[in-house]
Amino acid sequence: MSTSSTTALETEGSNVNTLERSPRQTDILAIWIWLAASVAVTICLLVVSFVGAYPDRPSVGDILSRWSRFDFIHFVDIARFGYFPPPGVASTSAPLYAFFPLFPYLLKAGLVLHVPVIIAGLAVSWLSGAAATVWVSRLANLYEPGLGLKAAAVFVAAPPAIFLFAPYTEAIFLGFALGAWYFGKRQRWFLASVMCALSSTARITGAFLLVSLFVLWLTQRNWSVGGRRRWSFLYLGIPAATLATWMGALWYRTGDPLAYQTAQKYWGRHFEWPWTAAASTLNSYPPTGGHTQMAYLEIAAVALGVILTAILLVKKYYGEAVFVAINIVLLATSTYFYSVPRAALLWWPLWIGIAYLLRRQPIFFWIYLTLSTWAMLGWSTIYFSGFWAG
């Protein structure tokens, strides 16, 4: 962490300092925390690149190419050739409509402006990750005043946080989804719905967010007082229409009303009972090769999600519980437990909850943050080395 972000975290424990700090100052300090994490990831990238190229020196292209992993190849194909390219043109035969349009179309915009796709992808993720860090800080302060910067630090140092920086869809989804939840918590439902609609163009997880926002609306006090608030849930029709439009477009183009679900079969994904999926994960994971310890991390992430859901229900955070529960149900009933730690990055109650548990124990907070940062850099090393990282 940088000196500025470290000082911010150390002083946040003081209620006086927290009360005196303006929201704008808190946002700026959250961005400093994001910058500190960015520096750490960049150093990790450079170390892996130079070690991998030794005794030669890696070129800038070689360094940047370490970001181009797995799903990013599909995003680039969509940006260059569209969702239905002629046979043999795309990098693989994967059904590209398994991926939502926002991120690849931003890459396409970069191509139009003659920006290399890897630079465009990294820029989108970096800016989105910065926004997500600010939203985490703001949300944490809604749950517990003064918690924001600690939660931001826990978030950017999460073990799978490399996917906040990588040219993937986690960062851009969170950049809008967390804003949607923030405005929903403040009962500003038009803004919440617009942000949810935008998140719904990035990942299918936007559909889970939509359901969760409706539960949040239902469980807010005094939701039926006054005409505007009584009917404010109708704004959620905006993200619902957005999702319906995308699914309808796929139906029209493919002739399959369940085109998105059908596309998942390319990766061998189908319904399985959780215990069968767990056994498959242990016995034959990972399907694409890589580090076998990922299988245990997948199972641990599923278990953590179940525990988190239970805690949220006990604490009566029903909207948050629904969001995590939908994720867990779908991830745990697939062929494998697949990319669950990466999905856990989207479970903002987890990272805010960790900060909450450690808020009054500075020593344990810093021990946790150190260990988590170490794990995050280890995870980043796996990713930069070209192995499957979830």
Residue 230's pLDDT is: 73
The CB-side HSE value for 202 (13 A sphere, CA atoms) comes to 27
332-346 core/surface letters (b: 16 or more CB in 10 A; e: else): bebbbbbbbbbbbbb
Structure confidence by residue, pLDDT tens digits, 136-187: 999 999 999 999 999 999 999 999 999 999 999 999 999 999 999 999 999 9
Rounded to an integer, what distance in angstroms lies between the CA atom of residue 170 and that of residue 223? 31
For residue 138 the two structure tokens come to: 């703001």
Residue 73's pLDDT is: 94
Rounded to an integer, what distance in angstroms lies between the CA atom of residue 260 and that of residue 279? 26
Residue 14's pLDDT is: 41
Residue 348's pLDDT is: 97
Under 8 Å between Cβ of 163 and 342: yes
Rounded to an integer, what distance in angstroms lies between the CA atom of residue 171 and that of residue 129? 5
Q: What is the pTM of this model?
A: 0.92
116 Rama sector, left if φ>0, alpha if ψ -120 to 50, beta otherwise: beta
Residue 291's pLDDT is: 52
Residue 294's pLDDT is: 85
CB-neighbour burial class of residue 98 (10 A; exposed 0-12, middle 13-18, buried 19+)? buried
Structure confidence by residue, pLDDT tens digits, 208-243: 999 999 999 999 866 554 545 678 889 999 999 999
Mean pLDDT by 10 residues, the chain (390 residues): 46 45 90 98 97 92 94 96 93 93 97 96 98 98 96 98 97 98 96 98 97 95 57 94 97 94 87 90 70 84 97 97 97 90 96 96 96 97 90
Rounded to an integer, what distance in angstroms lies between the CA atom of residue 163 and that of residue 161? 5
CA dihedral 61, 65, 67, 73 (to 10 degrees): 130
Measured from the Cβ of residue 157, the count of other Cβ atoms closer than 10 Å reads 24
